[in-house]
């Protein structure tokens, strides 16, 4: 083949690729020819002239579900499984029947609407899906007045929906599977409807942008760390989301924005070991009072993770009246067990030492931990008043006792035969790296590092909040029974259809907060 022919072919391919990308500023007198309607929409329902540089849609009584009459809709073909479509809409509905926004549409009986509507005295975003006879509002989100940017991001197995107000970052409200809309006729479009009543409010679209080759949102997340052993990866909200979203496309992250009614203090030092400082982030309800307090401990197999990943949980608990503290602890590649327990007990003593400064009721301090953090707080709770585990983290004239514990999907034991066998087979030897020994080398330290070993009359009430993922060999049921036999409140709650890191994501985040608060109200009662 001649060089000129090769160059021509390359240019043709490049041109074809760019042709799939599209941006419309709605500055022309007529719509671009790539736009199309359903069943010849009446010209009175849309205009490019009434508001300069905007596409204005005028909602009719017709909905996107109608099989006969044209809906107020203008759309374009979706050219690839992966895409990103964004638009900016100015729509201030005056009545609850009026809706407008984005839609992914295959036909009248298969589409996803991502739009704006009025609800009571507020305006909200909604995600509605129509699949055959199923019509459902999947999620809603209250938003302020003003223009809103909407985004639909397509992946091979799911769609994600997000929005932005003003100059704010994009915020996701959820996702859905692509499977119900599989086929060659998928379109992305703009719509307006009065839903059975003539709409009195126009929907003005400032621009529309379609990207056929968007950047992978997970491309730059940190997965590997040279300090971690071979095969181990970083545990973070990013990596947890990447692993869970394929099966659970509807998940979203809780907000890490600190609300105005919460006082936030970052990076406070609660202990020092030589030059090594140990930190917490503290979230406190504004105002005076003696609030119950709670320490929150992150997961990551004792070898990775970061305490700030639990800040959204701390914020949510602070809004319910707790002084909530996310606690840094030394990881197993820095210091072996029992250093982690020493850290947690030091953090509790520090809270009591500073109770007056932070408005804390020193007689009501609880602990929440997730995954490996769940193991650590369970251990913290069962070893109340046992001097052996105090460590040298300071404030030794104060108690490290906790009044209540919530273990989120963390193990109660290391010495279950199945757990021992699992660690031998690998590839992860997390227990060995925490304790510094294999079970064969030092079975006693494995036993000592197991919370279930230490259950006794001064142990704290404990809630085991479990995922529904298969995590055998934990002995949480056995530990719960041992606590109950001593007259100590202990419960097990399984959150249905959940992956292991469920507490990091909505809708399970809300369930997690509710169950923590409910258990603490019952058990965090004082001395």
Instruction: Give the residue carrying structure tokens 């963390």.
Output: 410
Same domain, 187 and 274: no
Q: Which residues of 201-226 are buried (b: 16+ CB within 10 A; e: fewer)?
A: bbbbbbbbbbbbebeebeeeeeeeee
Q: Is residue 224 part of a domain?
A: no
DSSP character string of 193-240: E-TTS---SEEEEEEEEEESSPPPTTTT-----TTSPTT-----HHHH
Q: Is residue 230 part of a domain?
A: no
Kindly list the distances between the CA atom of residue 264 and the CA atoms of 311, 319, 343, 367, 436, in Å, as whole numbers in the listed order: 10, 12, 22, 19, 37
- Report yes or no: 322 and 333 within 8 Å, Cβ to Cβ: no
Domain final position from 211, 228, 246: 211
Same domain, 151 and 244: no
**In the prediction, which pLDDT does 9 show?**
52
Q: Is residue 3 part of a domain?
A: no
Same domain, 348 and 481: yes
As to burial, measured by CB atoms within 10 angstroms (0-12 exposed, 13-18 middle, 19+ buried), residue 144 is exposed
Measured CA to CA, the distance from residue 404 to residue 369 in angstroms comes to 12
Domain final position from 193, 211, 229: 211
The arithmetic mean of pLDDT across residues 127-140, rounded, is: 94
Examine the pLDDT at 194 and tell me if it is beyond 60.
Answer: yes
Overall domain count for the chain? 2
**In the prediction, which pLDDT does 508 show?**
98
Same domain, 195 and 270: no
Q: Is residue 327 part of a domain?
A: yes
Measured CA to CA, the distance from residue 29 to residue 165 in angstroms comes to 29
Could you tell me the residue range of the domain that residue 165 belongs to? 20-211
Q: Is residue 478 part of a domain?
A: yes
Examine the pLDDT at 13 and tell me if it is beyond 60.
Answer: no
Same domain, 462 and 382: yes
**In the prediction, which pLDDT does 458 show?**
98
Same domain, 345 and 248: yes
Interior angle at CA 421, CA 502 and CA 443, nearest 5: 105
Kindly list the distances between the CA atom of residue 400 and the CA atoms of 131, 318, 367, 377, 389, in Å, as whole numbers in the listed order: 55, 21, 11, 12, 10
**In the prediction, which pLDDT does 185 show?**
87
Q: Is residue 159 part of a domain?
A: yes
Position 329 confidence tier, pLDDT thresholds 50, 70, 90: very high
Measured CA to CA, the distance from residue 255 to residue 164 in angstroms comes to 14
Domain final position from 211, 227, 257: 211
**In the prediction, which pLDDT does 525 show?**
79
Which two three-digit tokens encode residue 330? 């030394």
Same domain, 259 and 183: no
**In the prediction, which pLDDT does 4 show?**
55
- Average pLDDT over all residues of the chain: 94
Interior angle at CA 169, CA 370 and CA 157, nearest 5: 65
**Percentage of the chain lying above the pLDDT 70 cut:** 96
Positive or negative, the CA dihedral 451, 455, 458, 461 is: positive
Same domain, 127 and 68: yes
Q: What is the pLDDT of residues 470-481, one digit of tens each?
A: 888 899 999 999
**In the prediction, which pLDDT does 470 show?**
86
Residue 519 neighbours by CB under 8 Å, 6+ apart: 404, 406, 461, 463, 491
- CATH number of the domain that residue 258 is part of: 3.40.50.1820
Positive or negative, the CA dihedral 245, 250, 255, 261 is: negative
**In the prediction, which pLDDT does 73 show?**
98
- Report yes or no: 365 and 292 within 8 Å, Cβ to Cβ: yes
**In the prediction, which pLDDT does 12 show?**
44
Same domain, 204 and 241: no
**In the prediction, which pLDDT does 527 show?**
58
The arithmetic mean of pLDDT across residues 140-163, rounded, is: 96
Same domain, 334 and 189: no
Q: What is the CA radius of gyration of the chain?
A: 28
Measured CA to CA, the distance from residue 101 to residue 46 in angstroms comes to 14
Measured CA to CA, the distance from residue 57 to residue 192 in angstroms comes to 6
DSSP character string of 312-364: HHHHHHHTTT-EEEEE----TTTS-TTHHHHHHHHHHHHHHHTHHHHTEEEEE
The arithmetic mean of pLDDT across residues 31-43, rounded, is: 93
Q: Is residue 14 part of a domain?
A: no
**Strand-pair partners of 464:** 407, 492
Q: Are strands 360-370 and 291-297 parallel, antiparallel or unpaired?
A: parallel
The arithmetic mean of pLDDT across residues 405-428, rounded, is: 94
Same domain, 346 and 200: no
- CATH number of the domain that residue 38 is part of: 2.60.120.200
Q: Is residue 218 part of a domain?
A: no
Same domain, 289 and 384: yes
Examine the pLDDT at 234 and tell me if it is beyond 90.
Answer: yes
* Helix (H) or strand (E) segment spanning residue 419: helix 417-425
């Amino acid at each position: 083949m001649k060089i000129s022919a090769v160059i021509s072919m390359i240019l043709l391919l490049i041109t074809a690729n760019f042709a799939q990308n599209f941006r419309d500023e709605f500055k022309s007198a007529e719509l671009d020819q790539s736009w199309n309607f359903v069943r010849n929409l009446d010209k009175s329902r849309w205009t490019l002239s009434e508001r300069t540089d905007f596409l204005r849609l005028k909602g009719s009584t017709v909905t996107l579900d109608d099989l006969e009459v044209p809906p107020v809709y203008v759309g374009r073909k979706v050219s690839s499984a992966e895409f990103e479509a964004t638009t900016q809409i100015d729509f201030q509905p005056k009545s609850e029947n009026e809706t407008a926004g984005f839609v992914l549409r295959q036909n009248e009986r298969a589409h996803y609407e991502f739009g704006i509507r009025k609800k009571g005295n507020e305006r909200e975003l909604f995600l509605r899906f129509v699949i055959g006879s199923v019509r459902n509002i999947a999620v809603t989100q209250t938003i302020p007045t003003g223009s809103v940017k909407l985004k639909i991001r397509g992946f091979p197995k799911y769609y994600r929906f997000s929005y932005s107000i003003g100059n704010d970052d994009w915020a996701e409200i959820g996702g859905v599977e692509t499977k119900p809309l599989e086929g060659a006729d998928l379109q992305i479009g703009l719509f307006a409807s009065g839903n059975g009543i003539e709409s009195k409010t126009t929907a003005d679209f400032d621009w529309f942008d379609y990207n056929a080759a968007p950047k992978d949102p997970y491309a730059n997340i940190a997965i590997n760390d040279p300090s971690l052993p071979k095969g181990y990866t970083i545990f973070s909200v990013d990596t947890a989301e990447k692993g869970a979203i394929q099966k659970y496309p509807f998940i979203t992250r809780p907000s890490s924005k600190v609300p105005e009614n919460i006082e936030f203090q970052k990076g406070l030092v609660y202990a020092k070991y030589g030059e090594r400082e140990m930190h917490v982030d503290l979230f406190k309800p504004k105002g005076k009072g003696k609030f119950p307090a709670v320490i929150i401990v992150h997961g990551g197999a004792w070898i990775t993770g970061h305490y700030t990943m639990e800040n959204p949980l701390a914020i949510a608990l602070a809004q319910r009246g707790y002084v909530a503290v996310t606690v840094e602890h030394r990881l197993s590649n820095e210091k072996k067990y029992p250093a982690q327990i020493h850290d947690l007990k030091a953090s509790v003593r520090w809270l009591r030492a500073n109770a007056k400064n932070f408005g804390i009721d020193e007689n009501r301090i609880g602990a929440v931990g997730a995954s490996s953090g769940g193991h650590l707080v369970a251990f913290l709770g069962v070893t109340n008043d046992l001097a052996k585990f105090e460590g040298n983290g300071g404030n030794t004239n104060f108690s490290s006792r906790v009044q209540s514990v919530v273990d989120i999907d963390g193990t109660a034991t290391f010495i279950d035969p199945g757990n021992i066998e699992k660690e031998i087979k690998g590839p992860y030897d997390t227990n060995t790296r925490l304790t510094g020994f294999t079970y064969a080398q030092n079975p006693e330290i494995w036993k000592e590092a197991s919370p279930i070993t230490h259950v006794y009359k001064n142990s704290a009430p404990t809630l085991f909040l479990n995922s529904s993922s298969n995590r055998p060999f934990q002995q949480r049921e056995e530990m719960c029974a041992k606590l109950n036999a001593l007259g100590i409140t202990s419960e097990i709650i399984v959150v249905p259809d959940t992956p292991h890191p469920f507490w990091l994501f909505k809708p399970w985040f809300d369930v997690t907060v509710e169950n923590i608060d409910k258990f603490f109200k019952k058990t965090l009662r004082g001395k």
